[in-house]
Amino acid sequence: MEYTVLGRTGLKVSVAGLGCGGFSRLGLGTGKSRAAAVALVRQALDLGVNLLDTAAAYGTEEVVGEAIKTVRREDVVITTKAWIPRGDGRRAAERAVAGLENSLRRLGTDYVDVFQLHGVSPEGYEQARDVIAPALLDQKAKGKLRHLGVTEAASEDPGHEMLQRAVEDEMWDVVMVAFHMMHQNARTTVFPRTMANRIGTLLMFAVRNIFSQPERLAAALRELTARRELPRWLALAPNPLGFLIHDGGAGSIVDAAYRFVRHEPGVDVVLFGTGDPDHLRANIASLLSPPLPMADRSTLTKLFGHLSGVGLDPPWGMPGSP
Ligand SMILES: NC(=O)c1ccc[n+]([C@@H]2O[C@H](COP(=O)([O-])OP(=O)(O)OC[C@H]3O[C@@H](n4cnc5c(N)ncnc54)[C@H](OP(=O)(O)O)[C@@H]3O)[C@@H](O)[C@H]2O)c1
């Protein structure tokens, strides 16, 4: 495993972080058992992953709590989240503090490394900053959380409006941002400011459905070419991203997707979500592989650099989630 420093938190974190949400939810989302989910987290820990990203909404905090019983608490970085409805007035702060207490109980720990507000929309940002964050900073002073973070509601905020404000406010030490081969706009709108302000970044949506399900990619390309946002050959080609797979290049589209985001300046940790032990091994290998060849990166930027909001799949339950 390779390790890096998560911005100004100073936390030493693995460059590959296990996402315990997404559609897989460690396998719980596809009908696997809780024991298999615990084993998957332990497999990740054995391979050197030390950052585990979960959330109240995922239903995986107890799995994470169970899995980390075999390691020292200080050897693992736990990031979790609470989703707070908009427009809840002062009750929003109470809800967030109660959410933190519940997460601590489910995780079986007395602190979380990063407590994040989950899927904050541009409209919800002022409440997050002015009402909820101060209450959580009181909890930080009590030692219940080490750092405060915020995650975006990617599908409703493809231009990163919320994060563009958050990166200028001093309370957020960590942000979670969507970035992938066909949604590259964080390169100019978010990463220059997180790097300047030494804010830690957790990357989500590297693969999601668009790069793990060929039919989803084909449908997206058909839609984008119909809107004349992409050249027509991309919708007609049997394997439109096949140019990425060659000797010295990527081994698969999923491999390309993880390697593309991993080496982007400004990306600290790439979260990957899976319920499959073989995928877990393969994804860590991808994230530890060299960057894609320069020519392939340039082609991806030339073809897709102007796109925004592609492949940020429909949420279940809340904006921009799971
Ligand atoms: N707003 C937010 O706060 C927010 C929103 C979204 C995500 N997140 C966080 O980001 C994490 C990462 O997102 P994500 O879970 O969607 O992860 P992802 O890594 O972008 O995509 C995971 C999807 O790809 C599949 N997959 C993974 N590895 C594969 C492989 N080697 N070959 C084929 N298919 C593969 C998985 O299915 P299998 O189970 O079959 O591997 C799953 O369906 C989440 O778990 C969560 O922690 C946060």
Dump pLDDT digits (tens) for 194-230.
999 999 999 999 999 999 999 999 999 999 999 999 9
For the record, the structure tokens of 49 come out as 């992953």
Pocket test for ligand 1, best of 162, 205, 318, 321 (most atoms within 8 A of CB): 205
- The closest residue, in CA terms, to atom 19 on ligand 1 is 272
Q: What pLDDT shows up at residue 320?
A: 46
Residues 58, 111, 125, 258: which is the catalytic one?
58
Give the pLDDT confidence of 244-284 residue by residue, as tens digits: 999 999 999 999 999 999 999 999 999 999 999 999 999 99
| pLDDT 10s digits, 122-136 | 999 999 999 999 999
pLDDT at position 86: 83
Q: With a 6 A CB cut-off, is 320 part of the ligand 1 pocket?
A: yes
Report the atom number in ligand 1 closest to the C-alpha of 21.
45
Q: What is the pLDDT of residue 271?
A: 98
Exposed (0-12), middle (13-18) or buried (19+): which is 42, by Cβ within 10 Å? middle
CA 86 to chain centroid: 22
Query: pTM of this prediction?
Result: 0.97
Distance of CA 62 from the midpoint of ligand 1 (Å): 19
CB neighbour burial string for 256-265, b if at least 16 within 10 angstroms, e if fewer: bbbbbbbebe
Ligand 1 site, residue 279, Cβ cutoff 6 A = yes
192 CA distance to ligand 1 middle (Å): 25
Is 268 a pocket residue for ligand 1 (Cβ < 6 Å)?
Answer: no
Query: Strand locations in the chain, DSSP E?
Result: 3-5, 12-14, 16-19, 51-53, 77-82, 112-120, 145-152, 174-178, 200-204, 269-273
User: What is residue 80's three-state secondary structure?
Assistant: strand
Closest by CA position to 8, among listed 185, 263, 205, 268: 268
pLDDT interval class at 315 (50, 70, 90): low
Q: Is 115 in the pocket of ligand 1 (CB under 6 A)?
A: no
Binning pLDDT at 50, 70 and 90, where does residue 314 land?
low
d(CA 293, ligand 1 centre) in Å: 24
**How large a percentage of the chain has pLDDT more than 90?**
94
Q: Is 206 in the pocket of ligand 1 (CB under 6 A)?
A: yes
pLDDT tens, residue by residue, 166-189:
999 999 999 999 999 999 999 999
* pLDDT tens-place string over residues 8-45: 999 999 999 999 999 999 999 999 999 999 999 999 99
111 catalytic? Reply is no
Instruction: Please write down the long-range contacts of 21-24, taking CB distance under 8 Å and 24 or more positions apart.
Output: 21/53, 21/54, 21/55, 21/57, 21/58, 21/60, 21/273, 21/321, 21/322, 22/208, 22/273, 22/322, 23/208, 23/209, 23/273, 23/313, 23/322, 24/273, 24/274, 24/275, 24/276
pLDDT digits (tens, 9 = 90+) for 148-165: 999 999 999 999 999 999
Ligand 1 pocket residue status of 282, Cβ below 6 Å: yes
Structure tokens at 307: 């796109």
Mean pLDDT rounded to a whole number for the chain: 95
Residue 281 confidence (pLDDT)? 98
